[in-house]
Amino acid sequence: MSSQPLKGKVGLVFGVANKRSIAWGIAKAWSDAGAKLIFNYQGDRLKENVEELAATFGAETPVAPCDVSRDEDIAKFFDFVKGKAPKVDLLLHSVAFAPKEALEGNFVDTTREAFRVAHDISAYSLVAVSRAAAPLMTEGGSIVTMSYYGAVKVVPHYNVMGVAKAALEASVRYLAYDLGPKKIRVNAISAGPVNTLAARGISGFGAMLAHYEAHAPLKRNITLEELGAMGVFLAADGSAGITGQTLYADSGYSVMGM
């Protein structure tokens, strides 16, 4: 394979908060592979962070606001994209949120509002951005989202996020079916735990990293570089026959029965 498998490709990146973000790990790998990127940021709080990181790929790297829970933000973001690129090839969706209290107590206590918010931001948003991106993917494309094993097995305290990830993984399959005829592929990477902003707020997260080191077949945790390489694989022609799938990058943890 060429050293720049994504040369000439344009990618949209949703979900960079800082340099530890999974989205940033994959964006760096996409850029190294030759892709031109356009970034969103969630709100004013993250604007400077994302602008600064994006500028490491050149001062002209486009960056625009988009809160994925707002249809008008999504419409404006894609209008911005149309002004910057003649077509889009790649889309990374690396966004999730549930109200903090929903990740603390018991799942049975999940409120209607916490359930709604978790599903809106963590699952529906993939559908919304895929629908907006598809007409711009005039030469086909690859859409990649991030999931977690809590979608298929009970991980204590992951709670409503697990249910939202199950909806996300099912959405990947239905989107793959709808967009397949346009040569647009849709896949999820189910990552083992990574020490990011979204993870650091979770009590016991350090113990979870240690548990993977002790019990995963590879006896270590996954790195951002490995997730980047997986992101390049799913974006490039080497994965041309793969769509609708959830691929595990978890040091093998999910194959263990005990």
- Interacting residues with ligand NAD (CB under 6 A): 15-17, 21-23, 42, 46, 67-69, 94-97, 121, 146, 148, 191, 193-194, 196-199
Q: Please say which residue, 57 or 205, places its beta carbon nearer to ligand 0WE.
A: 205
**Would residue 149 show up in a list of annotated catalytic residues for this protein?**
no
Tokens of 220: 């270590």
Q: How far is the CB of 10 from ligand NAD (least distance, A)?
A: 20
Are 201 and 162 contacting, i.e. CB atoms less than 8 angstroms apart?
no
Q: Which of 41, 148, 149, 212 is catalytic?
A: 148
Cα gap 239→140, rounded to integer Å: 13
**Identity of the residue, 59 or 108, whose beta carbon is nearer to ligand 0WE in the bound complex:** 108
- Check: CB of residue 21 under 8 Å from CB of residue 94: yes
Nearer to ligand 0WE, 135 or 204 (CB): 204
Shortest Å, Cβ 53 to ligand 0WE: 20
* Closest distance to ligand 0WE from the beta carbon of 147 (Å): 8
Q: Which of 14, 78, 148, 253 binds ligand 0WE (CB under 6 A)?
A: 148
Strand order in the sheet with 184-191: 63-65, 36-41, 10-14, 90-93, 141-147, 184-191, 246-249
Structure tokens at 1: 């394979």
Active-site option among 41, 158, 212, 248:
158
Binding status of residue 96 toward ligand 0WE by CB under 6 A: yes
42 binds, options ligand 0WE, ligand NAD, none, Cβ within 5 to 8 A by partner type = ligand NAD
R_g of the chain, CA atoms, integer Å: 17
Cα 177 versus chain centre, distance: 19
Residue 159 CB, nearest distance to ligand 0WE (Å)? 7
In eight-state DSSP terms, residue 255 is G
In the residue annotation, 148 being an active-site residue is answered as yes
Asked if residue 164 lies in contact with residue 123, where contact means CB atoms within 8 angstroms, the answer is yes
Catalytic residues: 148, 158
